[in-house]
Amino acid sequence: MADTHQQIDRESEAGVEHFDEKNVGEHTHVENLEDAATQNAYAVKSDDSDGKIPMTPKRFITMVVLAMSYVGANLPLFFVGGALTFIQASIPNPSTTGWATTAYGIALASITPFTGYLQDLFGRRYISIAGSLTLCIGLVIIGTSHRFVQLMFGCVISGVGAGATELTAIAGLAEVVSVKNRGLTLSLLTGFILPFAPYVLYAQLFGENATWRWGMWLSLIYNGLVLVGLITLYFPKSHHRADGVKRAQLHKELDLIGGFLSMSGIVLLQVFLWRGGSIYPWKSGRVLAPMIIGFLLCMSFFVWEWKGAKYPMVPSNIFKGQRVTGSAIGIAFVVGMNLYAILNFLPIMFATVYSPDAIQVGVKALGFGIGQTIGSTVMNLLMTVFKNHQQENLLFSCLLMTACISALACVNPTNPNTVVVLSAFAGWGVGGIIAPIATVALSTTPDAFIATVVSIIQACRFLGGAIGYSIYYAVFTGKVKTRLPAAVAKYAVDAGLPLQSVPQFVLAFITAPTTLNKVDGATPQIIEAATLGSRWAYAESLKYVWLTTIPFGALCIILCLFMGSNSKYQTNRVAAVSDNDPRSPRLTNSADCECRPWVELNMIRRAATVVRTDVFHDS
């Protein structure tokens, strides 16, 4: 045995000499462990292995904790978004309704790309624990808020923590199973959301019968359990991009400039999109300034990643040799636009076209929530069942989403059942893209960049949602501001309202409905008729929102067709293990041979200690 290891050392040293002579003499960049990682040489199970990792009770519980962390990251958004009317009443401020969820989304979208980069560099354990702890702190701040500033601060802190936690859940679960089984595993992850699918109803019940703050306390208890689980059970073992690199050298080459450019650019662009048209006119300096600066920062980020960064946040390796990853990122961006059309305007539709009763609104919204959760779960499962037809599965979801969201244009006050059914199938279509798109992208992603790709997909989804919301809001307000007064006036006059009372009645109906009984000639029958007219006006206005989603759905379909097949990537490779069980496989690149992989890794590690120039370049 000693002779074998001596021979291995001699082979390693010879390989290092050859490696150094070839690369240093030509002044090319030593990739440190980057090339080997890109080729997935550090997987615990290789592509041609059996792909089986023993499922111990500890490993199973660890995977459950990761799935719970995914749910926990979404709970603050669920319960804040579902209780906005109660939060507004508790913390009266004109900006409460708009900024509560916006601040959360901006923080999550801006921090996620850099967090993914850091996870691939240093590992997931400590970043995930820090994210979970940050999320818990944010929930305490929100739950105890009595001022607008405190509420906003809590939403930002929660968004930062949720970004790291949700990212860890997806990347952490994807890397501990074989590539071809990632759809099955991630379907279980999305399935954990099912108990919280009626979140709008839960939030309304909390607000009506106790306090909206119970949504925060429930989220805190849930995420507290996740935090304990991560601390005690989550000890992932995988290759990191910074393995073998001296810390002093790493600090010099860390892409801090890319992190600053991406975070600041995303924040300013989302602020521009949220302000424009809703708070300030599009031509206002308060809108144009963040737009111009944000755009320049984002352009600078792309140039820096392309030409300046030696160890970039977005390495070109994730796109090389295939179209799947780039297309998946594009689809995530576009489907985010349609997702936020549904999330923002579906509650408005149910509250304005039909009865505004909070419980009825929550019950009607169940269709979309359950449909989205089931769609995410089932379609992700089918990514494993039909692993060689993932493109076709994704295409089906794109078609279903486009057809059913646009079909909501049939909405009117007489067809609530039809609209609920259509929203459920629209949820299935959206869910069948939002979660499975990560599964598809990760099939072609090198093991060292799993968190990077997941973080880019998440950030693009949120940024697309911000852009989509701005477009849909402009369409909606442009229609409703003319149709609503006209419809209210027409129906009121038809019911017997004197013509001289019309201006006062319409103004009171739209701005202060509790004062309608003071308008001359206003009767309960006239008010009821005007209410029906307002419902038709909202239905006609919302119709254009749903029709506006068609081009974006069509773009999703085109990107899906352009993507191409990823069937050749459906292998038994397993990137990592999730715990420190001594029975876990070693980080080698072969399931059958112990010696040769050790030689190859030893050669690269020794080379990294010899060559010190430009070790971080991403070829």
The C-alpha atoms of residue 372 and residue 380 are separated, in whole angstroms, by 12
Give the CATH number for residue 171. 1.20.1250.20
Is 34 contained in some domain?
no
Amino acid in the structure at residue 356: P
Q: pLDDT (tens digit, 9 = 90+) per residue, 211-237?
A: 889 999 999 999 999 999 999 998 887
Residue 159 shares a structural domain with residue 274: no
**Do residues 178 and 572 lie in contact, with contact meaning Cβ atoms separated by under 8 Å?**
yes
- Which domain, by its residues, includes 409? 315-497+505-512+519-571
Using alpha carbons, select from 438, 359, 384 the residue that is nearest to residue 201.
Answer: 359
The C-alpha atoms of residue 289 and residue 397 are separated, in whole angstroms, by 38
Residue 228 shares a structural domain with residue 265: no
Residue 211 shares a structural domain with residue 344: no
Q: Residue 137's pLDDT is what?
A: 95
Residue 469 has pLDDT above 50, yes or no: yes
Residue 159 shares a structural domain with residue 265: no
Q: How far is CA 185 from CA 55, 64, 66, 180, 353, in A?
A: 13, 11, 11, 10, 40
Is 1 contained in some domain?
no
Is 584 contained in some domain?
no
Neighbours of 95 (CB within 10 A): 14
Residue 548 shares a structural domain with residue 426: yes
Provide the phi-psi class of 277: left if phi over 0, else alpha when psi is between -120 and 50, else beta: left
Residue 33 has pLDDT above 70, yes or no: no
Using alpha carbons, select from 594, 616, 608 the residue that is nearest to residue 16.
Answer: 608
The C-alpha atoms of residue 576 and residue 176 are separated, in whole angstroms, by 5
Q: Residue 221's pLDDT is what?
A: 95
Residue 359 shares a structural domain with residue 467: yes
Please list, in sequence order, all residues whose beta carbon lies within 8 angstroms of the beta carbon of residue 90, skipping any fewer than 6 positions away. 146, 211, 212
Mean pLDDT of the chain: 80
Q: How many domains does the chain have?
A: 3
Is 413 contained in some domain?
yes
Share of the chain above pLDDT 70, in %: 83
The C-alpha atoms of residue 63 and residue 192 are separated, in whole angstroms, by 12
Is 379 contained in some domain?
yes
Partners of 237 in the β-ladder: 577
Q: pLDDT (tens digit, 9 = 90+) per residue, 565-614?
A: 888 888 888 877 766 555 555 554 433 333 333 333 333 344 443 333 33
Burial class (CB in 10 A: 0-12, 13-18, 19+), 258: buried
In the block, tokens 């050392």 appear at 9
**Do residues 205 and 375 lie in contact, with contact meaning Cβ atoms separated by under 8 Å?**
no
Please list, in sequence order, all residues whose beta carbon lies within 8 angstroms of the beta carbon of residue 517, skipping any fewer than 6 positions away. none
Is 552 contained in some domain?
yes
Is 585 contained in some domain?
no
Residue 304 shares a structural domain with residue 171: no
- The mean pLDDT value for 424-432 works out to 92
Domain final position from 549, 571, 593: 571
Q: pLDDT (tens digit, 9 = 90+) per residue, 44-99?
A: 777 777 777 778 888 889 889 999 999 999 898 888 877 877 888 888 776 666 67
Three-state DSSP state, 412: coil
Is 348 contained in some domain?
yes
Domain final position from 571, 586, 610: 571
Residue 434 shares a structural domain with residue 361: yes
Residue length, the chain? Answer: 619
Residue 212 shares a structural domain with residue 267: no
In the block, tokens 């000693």 appear at 2
Residue 374 shares a structural domain with residue 411: yes
The pLDDT-based confidence of 291 (bands split at 50, 70, 90) is confident
**Do residues 468 and 337 lie in contact, with contact meaning Cβ atoms separated by under 8 Å?**
yes
pTM across the whole model: 0.80
Residue 487 shares a structural domain with residue 536: yes
Could you give the angle at which helices 182-191 and 148-174 cross, rounded to 10 degrees?
A: 150
The C-alpha atoms of residue 464 and residue 104 are separated, in whole angstroms, by 15
Residue 395 shares a structural domain with residue 543: yes
